[in-house]
C-alpha cells in the first residue's frame, strides 16, 4: 500500500500541530520523520507515529519544553533538553554545532534528557549540506548484551557520519548492534530461526528463537541482541560492544545524562541522550582539494572489482539518495497496521485523513 508523499506530510504536520506543537516545530518533526520513509528506512518513519503518540501521551515528551544550554565554550555546548521532542532538540543542537564549526572550525554538542530523534543521518546531513563533516550518535533503551553478559546494558546506539563528496555525500548511519530489534521481529513473523550469534537468551546463551528473545526483551527478563560482530568474541563482538560504549560516552557520560541502562526506566521520561559534531574540514587544508580527494575515493570504491554475481558496490548514502529521488514527488509505502494506527491517532486528535489518502494496494 502506498500514500502520497505530500499528503503524508500535510497529515503529519496537522497531527503534530494538534498535539500542541507550533506550525514551525510540527514541520521540523514531520520533515525528520518523513525523511526516513523517503530514504527507505520505514522503521524510523511514519511507522513510528504510534510510538511518538505514546511518548507524548505519557508526557515522556514535553511539547512545551525549551532546551537550554547549561555549559558552553566556543567549540562546545551541553544542552539540557528538558524532555523536548528528540527531532526538535536534534535540529537545534546540530544548528549550534554548525554555527560553531563555521566560526571556530568545530562544534561539539552533547544533549541529555531528550527523546527518540529519528534517523541520525538527518542531522549529519544538515552539516554536510553546509560543506562540513557531520557526526551524530544517540543512545537508546538498553537492548544490547555486553560480551560475556546475560543482561542488556547498552542500546542500539547508532553512529552516523556524513562527509561531503560529489556526486553523492558519504552518509553512514548504523546501530552498533548486529541487527536492530525490527530484524528479530521479521524472523519471528516468518517463523524462521535467527542466525547464530545474533541474540542471547536470559542466561546469556546463544539463542535462535526470535519469539523467546523478543518476549524477554519486552519483559526485561534478560538476554537481548548481540553487539555488531555477534555473541562472544569469535567474530569480533567485543568490538561492537566497545563501539556501543563509545556512543554512550559521547551521548550520555559527557553530557551528565543517563546511560542506556537507565533509559526508559521511568514512566514520565526516557532520558535519551545524543551527541552532535560538525567539523569544517578546511581546518586541515584546502577544501576544494580535500573534497575532490573524497569524491575520488568514493568513486574508486564504487568502481572496484565486484564479487561474482554482484553488479554494484555502494558507498553509504547512495541508496537513500536514489530512493528519495523516486519518492519525494511520489509515494511512500505504508503497511496496514501503520495505516490503522494513523487512523486511530487522527480520530483521537480530531484530524481528518486527507481524501484518497491510500493510493494503491
Residue 273 engages a second copy in binding (rule: CB under 8 A): no
E-strand ranges in 49-140 read 68-73, 76-80, 106-114, 133-138
Q: Which CB, 285 or 330, lies closer to a second copy?
A: 285
Q: Which CB, 17 or 170, lies closer to a second copy?
A: 170
Q: Which CB, 268 or 308, lies closer to a second copy?
A: 308
Q: Rounded to the nearest 10 degrees, what angle do helices 49-57 and 336-349 cross at?
A: 30
Of 1-9, 38-46, 147-155, 213-221: span binding a second copy (CB under 8 A) = 147-155
CA gap 67, 282 in Å, rounded: 30
CA gap 62, 45 in Å, rounded: 21
Residue 128 engages a second copy in binding (rule: CB under 8 A): no
Helix (H) or strand (E) holding 169: none
Size, binding site for a second copy by CB under 8 A: 84
Q: Rounded to the nearest 10 degrees, what angle do helices 210-219 and 181-189 cross at?
A: 130
Q: Which CB, 90 or 227, lies closer to a second copy?
A: 227
Residues 234-253 that bind a second copy (CB under 8 A): 234-236, 238-240, 242-243, 245-246, 248-249, 252-253
Residues 37-96 that bind a second copy (CB under 8 A): 70-71, 73-78
Residue 156 engages a second copy in binding (rule: CB under 8 A): no
Residue matched to cell numbers 523517503: 38
CA gap 275, 136 in Å, rounded: 5
CA gap 349, 326 in Å, rounded: 31
User: Residue from 189, 220, 265, 306 that binds a second copy (CB under 8 A)?
Assistant: 306
What is the total residue count of the chain?
Answer: 361
Q: Which CB, 65 or 294, lies closer to a second copy?
A: 294
Helix (H) or strand (E) holding 173: strand 170-174
Alpha-carbon dihedral angle through residues 112, 113, 116, 117, given to the nearest 10 degrees: -50
Residue 299 engages a second copy in binding (rule: CB under 8 A): no
Is residue 314 exposed (0-12), middle (13-18) or buried (19+ Cβ within 10 Å)?
A: exposed
Binding flags for a second copy, 100-119, as an x/- string (CB under 8 A): ----xxx-x-x---------
User: Residue from 151, 188, 208, 299 that binds a second copy (CB under 8 A)?
Assistant: 151
User: Residue from 59, 166, 300, 347 that binds a second copy (CB under 8 A)?
Assistant: 300
Helix (H) or strand (E) holding 231: none
Q: Which CB, 21 or 123, lies closer to a second copy?
A: 123
Residue 205 engages a second copy in binding (rule: CB under 8 A): yes
User: Residue from 36, 41, 163, 345 that binds a second copy (CB under 8 A)?
Assistant: 163
Amino acid at each position: 500500500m502506498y500514500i502520497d508523499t505530500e499528503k503524508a506530510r500535510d497529515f503529519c504536520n496537522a497531527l503534530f500541530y494538534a498535539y500542541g506543537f507550533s506550525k514551525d516545530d510540527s514541520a521540523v518533526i514531520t520533515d525528520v520523520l518523513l525523511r526516513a520513509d523517503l530514504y527507505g528506512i520505514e522503521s524510523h518513519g511514519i511507522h513510528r507515529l504510534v510510538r511518538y503518540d505514546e511518548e507524548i501521551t505519557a508526557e515522556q515528551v514535553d511539547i512545551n519544553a525549551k532546551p537550554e544550554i547549561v555549559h558552553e565554550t566556543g567549540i562546545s555546548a551541553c544542552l539540557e533538553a528538558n524532555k523536548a521532542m528528540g527531532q526538535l532538540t536534534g535540529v537545534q543542537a546540530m544548528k549550534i554545532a554548525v554555527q560553531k564549526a563555521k566560526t571556530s572550525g568545530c562544534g561539539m554538542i552533547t544533549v541529555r534528557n531528550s527523546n527518540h530523534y529519528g534517523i541520525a543521518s538527518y542531522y549529519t546531513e544538515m552539516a554536510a549540506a553546509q560543506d562540513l563533516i557531520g557526526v551524530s550518535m544517540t543512545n537508546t533503551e538498553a537492548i544490547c548484551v555486553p560480551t560475556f553478559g546475560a543482561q542488556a546494558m547498552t542500546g542500539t546506539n547508532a553512529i552516523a557520519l556524513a562527509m561531503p563528496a560529489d556526486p553523492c555525500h558519504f552518509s553512514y548511519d548504523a546501530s552498533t548492534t548486529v541487527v536492530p530489534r525490527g530484524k528479530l521481529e521479521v524472523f519471528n513473523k516468518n517463523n524462521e530461526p535467527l542466525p547464530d550469534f545474533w541474540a542471547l537468551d536470559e542466561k546469556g546463551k546463544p539463542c535462535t528463537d526470535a519469539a523467546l528473545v523478543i518476549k524477554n526483551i519486552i519483559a526485561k527478563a534478560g538476554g537481548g541482541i548481540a553487539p555488531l560482530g555477534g555473541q562472544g568474541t569469535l567474530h569480533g563482538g567485543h568490538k561492537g560492544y566497545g563501539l556501543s560504549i563509545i556512543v554512550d560516552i559521547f551521548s550520555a557520560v559527557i553530557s551528565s545524562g543517563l546511560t542506556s541502562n537507565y533509559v526508559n526506566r521511568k514512566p514520565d521520561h526516557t532520558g535519551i541522550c545524543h551527541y552532535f559534531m560538525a567539523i569544517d574540514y578546511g581546518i586541515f587544508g584546502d577544501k576544494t582539494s580535500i573534497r575532490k580527494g573524497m569524491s575520488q575515493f568514493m568513486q574508486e570504491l564504487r568502481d572496484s572489482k565486484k564479487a561474482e554475481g554482484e553488479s554494484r558496490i555502494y558507498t553509504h548514502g547512495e541508496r537513500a539518495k536514489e530512493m528519495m529521488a523516486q519518492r519525494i514527488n511520489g509515494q511512500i509505502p505504508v503497511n496496514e497496521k501503520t495505516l490503522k494506527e494513523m487512523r486511530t491517532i487522527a480520530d483521537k486528535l480530531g484530524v481528518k485523513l486527507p481524501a484518497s489518502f491510500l493510493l494503491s494496494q
